[in-house]
Amino acid sequence: MSEVEVRDLTVEYQTSVGWLPAVAGASLDLRAGQITGLVGESGSGKSTLALSLLNAVPAPGRIAGGTIEVAGVGDLTRLGGKQLRKARGGAIGYVFQASQNSLNPLKTIGRQLLDLGRSHEVGDLRALIARAKDLANRMGLDGDRVLDSYQHELSGGMRQRVGIVFALVLNAKVLILDEPTTALDMLSQASVLDIVRKVHDENQLSTLIITHDIGAISEIADRLAVMYGGRIVEDGPLLEVLRRPTHPYTKALIGATARITGDVDGARALPGRPPDLTTVARAGCVFRDRCPFAVEVCAQTEPELHSFDSERRRACHVEPSTVLTGTTGTPAAVGEPA
Amino acid sequence: MTAFARRLAGKLAAGLVMVWVVVTFTFFLVHALPGKPGDVQYEQYIQSGMNAEQAAAKVKAIYGYTSHDSMLSQYGGYLGKLLHGDLGQSISYSGVPVSHLIWAALPWTVIPVLSGLLVSFLIGVTAGVVAAVRRSSRWGGLLTVSGSLFAGVPAFVLALLLLVVFHTEWNLLPDAGTSDIQYDPGWNLPYIGSVVQHAVLPVCAYALLSYGGWLLAMKSSVVSVLGDDFILASELRGIAPVTRARYIGRNAILPLFTVLALSFGVMFAGSFFIEDTFDYPGLGDLLLKSIGTRDYPVMAGAFLLITVSIIIANILADLCYTLIDPRVRR
């Protein structure tokens, strides 16, 4: 069962040379009760995908095609006005990076929670505040103190948790976290991830975590989706994808991850640079220029994202076994998730 | 609130020091002018038959010192009189205390300046918000251009333009003075009506003078707040549009309190030209005339008052920040 079903989603941005896709025909499920990690380099379209899950692609962007079915809400791409506004925050909670100032600097956290409640026409504001305090306490914050604080009185890790309070206080069942560990030190990273796992389990959420940190995500995610050039190139259960990557990009990404234990030289940087809107290939596979396995067909036909092994999907012309055993870009051993 | 009181006390102390610096500076500036202040009068009194002692006493009454005293005791005399609220006596209006002249001129500057500020603030800030939100449309562009235009036109050009259009061409409004001569000054309707009628053009001049500044400042402030993370965050949380507009407005208007204090000073500077053009007997007019007649005590008094009001405006702006912005409050 899926809480969110994204089908053939295409998001375009207007540029000087016309409308160009940042997300091209992406399909993705957020399964009920599971944490999905979405990884990819900067510019791969993962943040655009996340924003479009709220139908909130900023101008000059637009959702050009596809559907986003959210359980209990319907197709988000067809919603507008008040219905859309209520779905944002009400059905789907969005958590910003810790480094971002996602709160009004002139109002206390508590007053902004009241603004949130009133905007969503919550009848019992006392209960809302009580729930917010409870959520905050469960995440290791002093609820009373935090609600009386201004944003500038909170640390990055505290802001991150307050952001989660805002995302969940209206009982949203879908939680989206954009780079939740970026700009935090290692200890805060670990604690934020623990907290995400905890609130996820306690509230039976469907969670999407967007990150470029494949190491962090491997600690808590159930499933992993890999994005490149606006396409989802591979996804499946986390352990299977990490242990047996079948897309050359996934394999290279895993190989590029530095580990705390072991030599930094064990990490291998990807050659070349990720494409942007104007340089992404129009025909054939978008990864072929950087792909050590590229064959002739890769330049002509774009590989389709197809299912295999029942639970997994990949978009590559090369055989999975070739990618897995290929000598080029050998991945270092992946640490066992906790 | 004790923190607020401490802050207020600190600001006032700093303000007093600034006033003292300006007073000292003005005193020595006036002394640096060619022809020592007081000497001309002293000679006149001698020529009119006074003896040296009488003449010196008379000059001392006007200035608080004579040029025969040492510089330091002159300065001390001036400061001493000032501390008693005595700004000396006017030269051109012989024997009239400077403070009387200033008190008489003050309302004719302060009331039009404040009215003009209020009008231009309301219109300019509203237009600035529209110009920011609709910045890619034709209307937004036009508003921005109007802001740059009015911010760039000098006060005297603006005042003359108003005079030509509304008096010379259309003859809608009077061109000079504060009221028509036939009415008795006081709280009667015809007189007040006449005063309002005469004040329209100066107020418009003040308003147009600062309108552009408000618009441009508010526009850039709103544009920068619109790009802030928390505005996107509030959208993604489904915050109601009215509430979001309040978030934007309150955050965007903050930096304008500094502009408010500065524009108070700009308005006083503009009052020389505007009061001169409309023959309006305010502070600017008084100062201009006193410069023409070398009326040093009036000059020093007017300078002092303008400085003090700008310093007070700055203190008020700072205090506004502490009330509105929790990040400044401590």
* Segment B94-105, tens digit of pLDDT: 778 888 888 888
Q: What is the dihedral of CA A54, A55, A59, A63, to 10 degrees?
A: 140
pTM for this predicted structure: 0.78
Q: What is the arithmetic mean of pLDDT over B202-210?
A: 88
- Give Cα separations from A140 to A137, A182, A191, A194 (angstroms): 5, 20, 10, 11
Domain B98-324, CATH: 1.10.3720.10
Residue B202 clears pLDDT 90, i.e. is over it: no
Percent pLDDT > 70 in chain A is: 93
The answer to whether B229 contacts chain A (CB < 8 Å) is yes
pLDDT at B330: 57
Residue A180 burial class via C-beta count within 10 angstroms: exposed 0-12, middle 13-18, buried 19 and up:
buried
Reported ipTM exceeds the 0.90 cut: no
> Within a 10 A sphere around the Cβ of A310, how many other Cβ atoms?
6
Give dist(CA A227, CA A233) in Å, integer.
6
Give the span between the Cα atoms of A318 and B279, in whole angstroms. 89
Over range B168-181, report the average pLDDT.
Answer: 77
Q: What was the pLDDT predicted at B74?
A: 78
Q: What is the pLDDT of residue B185?
A: 74
Backbone angles phi, psi at A320, to 5 degrees: -55, -40
pLDDT at B203 over 80: yes
Q: How far apart are CA A239 and CA A254, in angstroms?
A: 12
Tens digits of residue pLDDT in A231-259: 999 999 999 999 999 999 998 888 887 66
* B234 interfacial to chain A (CB closer than 8 Å): yes
pLDDT of B269 > 80? The answer is no
CB contact under 8 A, B237 and A89: yes
Min Cα–Cα distance to chain A from B138, Å: 18
What is the phi/psi pair of residue A152, to 5°? -70, -10
Instruction: State how far residue B240 is from chain A, nearest Cα, in angstroms.
Output: 5
Q: Which residue of B has its CA nearest to A51?
A: B236
Using the Cβ of B240 and the Cβ atoms of chain A, whether some distance falls under 8 Å is answered with yes
Which residue in the block uniquely carries the two structure tokens 């055993």?
Answer: A325
* Interface contact flag, A119 B238, Cβ < 8 Å: yes
CB within 8 Å: B325 and A106:
yes
Give the chain B residue nearest A176 (alpha carbons): B236
| The pLDDT of residue B326 is above 90 | no
pLDDT < 50 stretches in chain A = 329-338
Contact residues on chain B for A106, CB-CB shorter than 8 A: 250-251, 254, 324-326
Of A75-89, B34-48, B49-63, least confident by mean pLDDT is: B34-48
Q: Which pLDDT belongs to residue B196? A: 82
CB distance B233–A100 less than 8 Å? yes
Indicate yes or no: CB of A118 within 8 angstroms of CB of B240: yes
Residues 76-135 of B with CB under 8 A from A: none
Quick one: which of A311, A289, A151 has its CA closest to A224?
Answer: A311
User: Quick check: B41 pLDDT over 80?
Assistant: no
A89/B236 CB distance under 8 A: yes
Which residues on adjacent β-strands are paired with residue A226? A39, A234
Structure-token pair, residue A168: 């969940």
Residue A198: CB atoms within 10 A of its CB come to 14
Q: How far apart are CA A36 and CA A273, in angstroms?
A: 26
* Domains of chain A (ranges, CATH numbers): 2-91+172-325 (3.40.50.300), 107-166 (no CATH)
Q: Do B326 and A85 touch (CB under 8 A)?
A: no
Chain B positions touching A167 (Cβ under 8 A) are: 237
pLDDT at B211 over 50: yes
Instruction: Give B218's pLDDT tier (boundaries 50, 70, 90).
Output: very high
The fraction of chain B above a pLDDT of 90, given in percent, is 13
- pLDDT given for residue B34 in this prediction: 67
Of A95, A47, A96, A88, the closest CA to residue A70 belongs to A88
CB contact under 8 A, B239 and A119: yes
B239 CB within 8 Å of a chain A CB: yes
**pLDDT in the model for residue A80:** 83
Q: How far is B315 from chain A (nearest CA, A)?
A: 21
